[in-house]
Structure 1
Amino acid sequence: MSNAPQKAAETAENTLADIVSHAKEYGFVFPSSEIYDGLAAVYDYGPNGVELKNNLKQLWWRAMTQLNQNVVGIDAAIFMHPLTWKASGHVDGFSDPMIDNLDSKKRYRADVLLEEKAAEYEKNGEKERADALLAEMGRLLTAEDLAGVRQLIIDEKIACPVSKTSNWTEVRQFNLMFSTQIGAVAGDSSLIYLRPETAQGIFVNFLNVQKSARMNIPFGIAQIGKAFRNEIVARQFIFRMREFEQMEMQFFVRPGTEDEWYDKWKETRRRWHEAIGLPAEKLRFHDHDKLAFYAKAAVDIEYEFPFGFKEMEGIHSRTNHDLSQHQQYSRKKQNYFDNDINPETGKPYGNYVPFVVETSVGADRLFLATLCQAFQEETITEGEGEEQKTKTRKFLKLHPAIAPVKAAIFPLVRKDGLPEKATEIFNALRHDFRLVMEEKDAIGKRYTRQDLIGTPFCIAVDHQTLEDNTVTVRHRDSREQTRMPISELRSYIGEAVSFSRIFEKL
């Protein structure tokens, strides 16, 4: 029997471990409150991580609100009236099917265990078997047949990764919302929730936005914000966390046009991921096997992480369920009056509750996908003749537009006026780009440090610079060096790091 799947799993685990280690060492992601031994499934973004994440968020925001005249943004509060979550169904139905192993005392999501088994079948070339398993899981979950889900896990001989046994409990539903109290006095306080998603803040503001921004159907409302879920099975680094950030857009459309807009946003969002540097062969669409009762269609854009293809963004055709629910619970109309002429009747379309097409991407998952894709190792040759040697070079191949640092400025030596000249260049460019200036260590070590955080350009200031105002620009990916006047740096770097280089691919 081949041990290829086991070796592939070990390689993937080692790759992820390398990325986690790199993220901490170079200031991208730290375990939260690490000096107190951390808090499971909660992470902090370091100096380089927050820059990369902010660049990704800004890129998404501008792609939504700047490139689309019919998309505007909001920033809704995390706390919302409790009836919001009753209307949305989260109070009664926001649960995951959980199963415990009696030997290891570990708890797992039942659907994740089955999805991982299906992924194993697919890797072994048994796609039909994988599809059949996912279809059966979807049928059982839709029917809320939790006993059937447990039996399916047993029939598939799925064992606990820790105990290696199949001594499973019954499958139970576990609500994922965090609750807290609001009010100054305990007796007068009332139960509220930390929002488990950002979408409802958009829905309850539908009419506020439509009227104040003078929007006509079709139009979208975009939002970036934190959400909170009491994930029992939180693992794979920042892929699944209890506190996370969503970048979401709800697109309101005329009933009957939702299929067209659903297909359009599917392709638009996939192109966006490819434009920022995620290759087409590492992206795929995965249609949902289990649809929410109100959903017309749902698909995930999955990226091939070191631990397999996993969801990064969801596109959903949600019908008019959300607005209708809020209309019912708030007793306030959520209608839109459409003045456009219906060609079939020759009259205005009139009043209706709009349908919604949603795109929702996890900022943290996008960050992780970007980091995984950028993490490169290559063998290079240095020196000539007998002194020639090969070594492994690590670097982050980030698109210059999203790199945390755009350029590093290095005086060749710490004397002869070179640090002063480097400071002059730094001051001339710092209003346009995020820069660093380093004087310590040999210039080769400084290049290596910048490679490891993904800086696209390093600018060397040498004695010739003092004579003719030229510098050497070293390129991260190719390691090639270009001599150019200082006066050209702003336009040269600006051209490479502009969001326009990404937008022109859309």
Structure 2
Amino acid sequence: MSKQTDDLFKSVVSHAKEYGFVFPSSEIYDGLSAVYDYGQLGAELKNNLKTYWWKSMVQLNENIVGIDSAIFMHPSVWKASGHVDGFSDPMIDNKDSKKRYRADQLIEDKIERYQKDGKDDKAAALQTDLDTALNNDDLPRLKEIIEEHNIVCPISGTKNWTDVRQFNLMFATQMGAMADGAEQVYLRPETAQGIFVNFLNVQKTGRMKIPFGIAQIGKAFRNEVIARQFIIRMREFEQMEMQYFVRPGTEMEWYNKWKETRLKWHLALGFNADNYRYHDHVKLAHYANAAVDIEYNFPFGFKEVEGIHSRTDFDLKQHQEFSGKKLQYFDTEINQNYVPYVIETSIGLDRLFLTLLCNALVHEDLSTEERTDARVVLKFPAPLAPVKAAILPLTKKDGLPEKAREIMAQLKLDHNVQYDEKDSIGKRYRRQDAIGTPICITVDHQTLEDNTLTIRHRDSMLQERIAVADLEKFVADLVSWSPMLKQLI
């Protein structure tokens, strides 16, 4: 990471804390590694991102419905899914620093360094070696690669490594009033299995016909040993997933369709298309016959924000075998019974949140020949902004606060708005810029005379005068979801 990109990332992290978006969890107790709390503005932004995903996934698609399954599930679910036996990362310890690392990530970091140093041939060869070792589950080879390329511990600077071992990422706990006889259960490491075990419930009660999808937003938990890069990799995180059930033999057609559809969804946020790329998986999960990541170019490089996977019929067949219940669909069009194949779209809400912050945070130099000036602004798409409008009386007297409060009462029925009368109007504008509020509504003495207001726009800083009678429609049009959603139809 260059100093410029490092500074940008530090700026995003500090801005998120300073303005109430993200706080370290349990901070008064010095925090808890890889766990974060979303503050008052962060909670609003997260909810708006969920709304955008839910509207585009469920509301726009007649054949996709949403559920909300429990975090705790029967232990056999995770045995059937393969998580009990195979949900692991290759870990390696440095004997001097006593720190543990993911072996593949150490090697990936080395590949990035080779690329930055212009050693593309070395980078390509190392990537091939890594892919081969991962595909073969060759843990000794991973250690050999680390030693061959002189990869050192970032803390101790030494190469005193242990062997590479697999580490299961699931959190286990006990369910029951007494320790004796309590049943071991797991905090779910993904939300997808809650969809699969409810496949028949949804299909029958919703009278769903293939192809159809089931969507869900929910928390997942992974005991990540290596937690880094702020909210990119956390132990408690939120997923937005959709499982799309299709007729066997048509899965690649639907896989390609959802691959294109999901990238289109990200670009509708207004981000630069150059900051996105597809990354096809070389090593496929045990359940998949195709997989691709949509990656975003964060200040620290390209990282996955969403995965699209062709999961075949693995999950439903496994649950059918372990539960003894048939999980099949009778297709009247071809007069045939079968276990459907599945296309999955899975997006990390926390990573999407960080994508939005990184893309929206702008430092603007507003200096002129007469004076030096600058501002920090979050240029969120208006529907996603945590606060939709700020109502600002020009002064604290002459009936202006009363009029401003009247307007506030009118708008807060439909929108999250703020009232602010402290400091100069310029300072109040800057405060709203910093939290991404699309417009500021200024109530002044002219408002009392002709019932008009000044609208100051965040991005352009231009101002216009409108009638109070037109304000509700003006704000509703500004923050409407329709322009974003129409890009997806």
**3-state SS of the aligned residue for 1:270?**
helix
1:251-302 per-position Cα deviation (integer Å, ceiling 9, x unaligned) = 0000011001101101111011111132211111001121123311111000
**How far, CA to CA, are the matches of 2:121 and 2:198 in structure 1?**
44
1:76-98 per-position Cα deviation (integer Å, ceiling 9, x unaligned) = 00000000000000000100101
Q: Say whether residues 1:457 and 2:447 are aligned partners.
A: no
1:433 is matched with 415
1:170 is matched with 163
2:238 is matched with 245
User: What TM-score do you get using the length of structure 1 for normalisation?
Assistant: 0.94
**How far, CA to CA, are the matches of 1:489 and 1:147 in structure 2?**
67
**How far, CA to CA, are the matches of 1:61 and 1:206 in structure 2?**
19
Deviation, structure 1 residue 11 = 2.3
What amino acid is the match of 1:402? L
The correspondence for 1:413, drawn from 395, 412, 436, is: 395
Q: Say whether residues 1:327 and 2:313 are aligned partners.
A: no
2:383 is matched with 401
The 8 Å contact of residues 246 and 362 in structure 1, kept in 2 or not, is answered as yes
1:37-86 per-position Cα deviation (integer Å, ceiling 9, x unaligned) = 11111010000000000000111011100111110011000000000000
The 8 Å contact of residues 248 and 360 in structure 1, kept in 2 or not, is answered as yes
Alignment of 1:96-115 (within 5 A): 96-115=89-108
Deviation, structure 1 residue 162 = 1.7
2:82 is matched with 89
User: Measured at CA, do residues 374 and 54 of structure 1 come closer, stay the same or move farther in structure 2, by a change above 3 Å?
Assistant: same
Alignment of 1:35-434 (within 5 A): 35-127=28-120, 129-341=122-334, 348=335, 350-381=336-367, 388-434=370-416
**How far, CA to CA, are the matches of 2:210 and 2:103 in structure 1?**
40
The correspondence for 2:465, drawn from 472, 475, 483, is: 483
**3-state SS of the aligned residue for 1:188?**
coil
Deviation, structure 1 residue 366 = 0.3
**3-state SS of the aligned residue for 1:39?**
coil
What amino acid is the match of 2:277? R
1:137-158 per-position Cα deviation (integer Å, ceiling 9, x unaligned) = 1221221110001111122222
**How far, CA to CA, are the matches of 1:246 and 1:134 in structure 2?**
29
The 8 Å contact of residues 73 and 221 in structure 1, kept in 2 or not, is answered as yes
- What runs of 5+ residues in structure 1 fail to find an aligned partner? 1-7, 342-347
The 8 Å contact of residues 421 and 461 in structure 1, kept in 2 or not, is answered as yes
Structure 1 residues 273-282 or 120-129, which shifts more?
Answer: 120-129
1:410-457 per-position Cα deviation (integer Å, ceiling 9, x unaligned) = 000000000000001111111111100100000111000000000000
1:85-135 per-position Cα deviation (integer Å, ceiling 9, x unaligned) = 000000001001011112222111111112222233344455554344333
**How far, CA to CA, are the matches of 2:188 and 2:89 in structure 1?**
16
1:469 is matched with 451
**How far, CA to CA, are the matches of 1:114 and 1:281 in structure 2?**
26
User: Measured at CA, do residues 297 and 479 of structure 1 come closer, stay the same or move farther in structure 2, by a change above 3 Å?
Assistant: same
**How far, CA to CA, are the matches of 1:132 and 1:336 in structure 2?**
46
**How far, CA to CA, are the matches of 1:302 and 1:410 in structure 2?**
40
Deviation, structure 1 residue 216 = 0.4
Q: CA RMSD in A?
A: 1.2
- What runs of 5+ residues in structure 2 fail to find an aligned partner? none
Deviation, structure 1 residue 493 = 1.5
The 8 Å contact of residues 134 and 289 in structure 1, kept in 2 or not, is answered as no
1:5 is matched with none
Q: Say whether residues 1:501 and 2:479 are aligned partners.
A: no
1:9 is matched with 2
What amino acid is the match of 1:359? T
Deviation, structure 1 residue 381 = 3.0
User: Measured at CA, do residues 79 and 446 of structure 1 come closer, stay the same or move farther in structure 2, by a change above 3 Å?
Assistant: same
**How far, CA to CA, are the matches of 2:423 and 2:153 in structure 1?**
50
User: What TM-score do you get using the length of structure 2 for normalisation?
Assistant: 0.98
How many residues are aligned here? 488
The 8 Å contact of residues 135 and 289 in structure 1, kept in 2 or not, is answered as no
2:14 is matched with 21
**How far, CA to CA, are the matches of 1:269 and 1:489 in structure 2?**
35
**3-state SS of the aligned residue for 1:76?**
coil
Identity %: 63
**3-state SS of the aligned residue for 1:209?**
helix
